[in-house]
Structure 1
Amino acid sequence: MLDLSTLHSVVEQSYREFGQAPGGANADYIPFLANIPSDLSALAVVTANGDVISAGDIHYRFAIESISKVCTLALALEDWGAQTVQQKIGADATGMPFNSVMALELHGGKPLSPLVNAGAIASASLIKAENTEDRWNRILGMQRKLGSPQIKLSSPLNESEQSTNFHNRAIAWLLYSSGYLYCDPMEACDVYTRQCSTLLTTVELATMGATLATGGINPLSKERVLSPDNTPRILADMTMEGLYDTSGDWAYTVGLPGKSGVGGGILAVVPGVMGIAAFSPPLDDIGNSVRGQKMVASVANTLGYNLYKS
């Protein structure tokens, strides 16, 4: 049985110790993100029973960025099933940066992972939809079901992203030329960019993790969002590629499925128990929140949650 008083103490202590840890810098290749105050910091846990424990700037809404890839993967799995998603996108780490073109070239145009840019653009194209707006609204709907109805698109962030997404446009055309894109390339890129441009709180991010921890039931809304057969696939992908080039290091030191975003968010899932989320804008060289990693790791390690422990 999870002791809530202990959990409160651990969250508070982890936030106090690492919420203002030094190091890192805001993502500057997206103008919107470069201007976010770098001293912001928050930590939250949502349990499988719906308990919410948090500390810091928990009401601040930050950019979901690459964590959105988890939500779109979830929807693709619901639409098509695990076998089709594995066949059309893949389920392996690329071993290269998240926006790598070389990774595509080395593997015949197949993106390998739905959690790198190429795979996430392919995931967006795979969603069953009648048109661009239907595709976008279904993806936004999944983010809201996993997190909360308050998650919404930020027009200034989306404009900032759309005006700087030339590399992703090139990736979309490469996917299309290789037969691994399933709608118009610019539609897929546009919708993918929108999905990265929503804003959410740290508690909403932890709720997403808790929904994955329960096998697909949002513990706050009580709605079944995902098939229980699909959540293990999502957690496996998060383990292999969730923190990009340091995913192996994260598995080695923390032992939980995780996902980061260059907006400063970090998410980890303790299956059957809780979602742990943190936010702080300064990133390391790979693109992962410096403080977020430390805060989440502190909670997991202090409580002894590691999938690889007997």
Structure 2
Amino acid sequence: MKDLLGAVIEKNRYWTQYGNVATYIPELSKGNPDVLGISVCDMMGNEYFAGDYDIKFTMQSISKIVSFMCALIDNTSEKLFRKISVSPTAEGFNSIVNLETKNAHKPLNPMINSGAIATVSMVKGITSEDKFNRIYNFMKEITNNPDIKVNDDVYHSEKSTGDRNRALTYYMKSTRIIDDDVEEILDAYFKLCSIEVTCKDIAYMGAMLTNDGMLPCSGKRVLTKEIAKTVKAVMATCGMYDASGEFAINVGLPAKSGVSGGIVAVSPKKMGIGVIGPALDQRGNSIGGVKVLEDLSNRLDLNIF
């Protein structure tokens, strides 16, 4: 497996020259576009790495699946889905049009910004800080890394430039999708996006979903099988933004990307996969990371479709 991963990374490294690092969050513009790495964790907890797998990056939108897990644990699905739908979108991840013109003002799904902010508001906790800590502590458990931390530079960069997210959140406040204080719930959201991880951390998280909600090695159940199934289904249909359909055809795995260049993918009953490649395509997905996952899926016949 190690040799295979190394070959896949080297074959696809040249794709990084065709992408660009995110610049709308100033701190992310410091990312190295040449970075490309992968980590795999199987159901038994065996780990394999290649390329720049040990580079740290912030979770960004990958954190959305953790918020979604906590919201599903803390609410009945009927209550949660009264506020947030699970429909794919052809619009960008920070679209305002979707909120105003579609779906009775509800966010279309928890993998886009409006849906993720609404999801955080649905997590158990009296204050927004309580909600953040609830998700943060769960994230530590499912990444098998109690030492993950918020990158303060990225957090402050996100907070100072997050006016589109403020517009989305104030709109949802006006339509009663969100009842929390806007600035407080956004503060929790920005911090969650700014938590720093490696490919190894998110591959372990993917392996938990691969195993229907049980942690690798220990076998401890942290999600019900039903919640794990729901999370994987939404990742498969919505996790790669408006490129989710194309990704389903070419890679065929439930996955979630983030604009720092990370992607977590789930090969059911086989492995969790984490990749990093800060150079992004026009839809905000790692251009090299997608190609690595496509190549690996083809070589190992992982496509679930």
Preserved contact between residue 150 and residue 200 of structure 1 (Cα < 8 Å)? no
Partner secondary structure for residue 206 of structure 2:
helix
CA deviation map 1:69-111 (0-9, x unaligned): 0010000001113332222211111221110000001122100
CA deviation map 1:274-310 (0-9, x unaligned): 11111011000000001111111211111001111xx
Aligned partners of 2:95, 2:114: CA distance in 1, in Å? 8
RMSD between superposed Cα atoms in Å = 1.3
Aligned partners of 1:151, 1:216: CA distance in 2, in Å? 21
Question: Partner of 1:113 in structure 2?
Answer: 109
Question: Partner of 1:197 in structure 2?
Answer: 194
Q: Aligned-pair distance for 1:221?
A: 5.3
- Confirm or deny that 1:278 pairs with 2:275: yes
- Tell me whether 79-88 or 209-218 shows the greater mean CA deviation: 79-88
Work out which of the residue numbers 131, 152, 156 in structure 1 matches 2:127.
Answer: 131
Preserved contact between residue 76 and residue 127 of structure 1 (Cα < 8 Å)? yes
Aligned partners of 1:135, 1:154: CA distance in 2, in Å? 18
CA deviation map 1:122-151 (0-9, x unaligned): 001001102122111111112212212222
Preserved contact between residue 82 and residue 233 of structure 1 (Cα < 8 Å)? no
Matches for 1:82-231 after TM superposition, within 5 Å: 82-107=77-102, 108-147=104-143, 148-220=145-217, 222-231=219-228
Q: Which structure: greater helix fraction?
A: 2
Q: Aligned-pair distance for 1:240?
A: 1.3
Sort the Cα spacing of 1:134 and 1:106 in 2 relative to 1 into closer, same or farther, 3 A. Answer: same
Partner secondary structure for residue 263 of structure 2:
strand
Aligned partners of 1:254, 1:57: CA distance in 2, in Å? 21
Partner secondary structure for residue 97 of structure 1:
coil
Partner secondary structure for residue 169 of structure 2:
helix
Number of matched pairs? 302
Preserved contact between residue 63 and residue 196 of structure 1 (Cα < 8 Å)? yes
Question: Partner of 1:3 in structure 2?
Answer: none
* Matched letter for residue 159 of structure 1: H
Question: Partner of 1:8 in structure 2?
Answer: 2
Aligned partners of 2:209, 2:28: CA distance in 1, in Å? 27
Aligned partners of 1:67, 1:218: CA distance in 2, in Å? 18
Scaled by the length of structure 1, what TM-score is found? Answer: 0.94
- Tell me whether 136-145 or 78-87 shows the greater mean CA deviation: 78-87
Q: Aligned-pair distance for 1:39?
A: 1.7
Sort the Cα spacing of 1:222 and 1:156 in 2 relative to 1 into closer, same or farther, 3 A. Answer: farther
Work out which of the residue numbers 9, 13, 22 in structure 2 matches 1:19.
Answer: 13
CA deviation map 1:238-272 (0-9, x unaligned): 11111111100001111111111000001211111
Aligned partners of 2:244, 2:148: CA distance in 1, in Å? 27
Scaled by the length of structure 2, what TM-score is found? Answer: 0.96
Aligned partners of 1:52, 1:268: CA distance in 2, in Å? 15
- Tell me whether 171-180 or 68-77 shows the greater mean CA deviation: 171-180
Aligned partners of 1:118, 1:129: CA distance in 2, in Å? 20
Identity %: 36
Displaced runs of 4 or more, over 4 A: none
- Confirm or deny that 1:42 pairs with 2:16: no
CA deviation map 1:161-182 (0-9, x unaligned): 1000011011111111112114
CA deviation map 1:170-195 (0-9, x unaligned): 11111111121142222221111111
Partner secondary structure for residue 163 of structure 1:
helix
Work out which of the residue numbers 294, 297, 300 in structure 1 matches 2:291.
Answer: 294
Aligned partners of 1:27, 1:47: CA distance in 2, in Å? 31
Question: Partner of 1:51 in structure 2?
Answer: 46
CA deviation map 1:186-209 (0-9, x unaligned): 222111111100100001111111
- Confirm or deny that 1:248 pairs with 2:245: yes
Q: Aligned-pair distance for 1:224?
A: 2.2
- Tell me whether 286-295 or 211-220 shows the greater mean CA deviation: 211-220
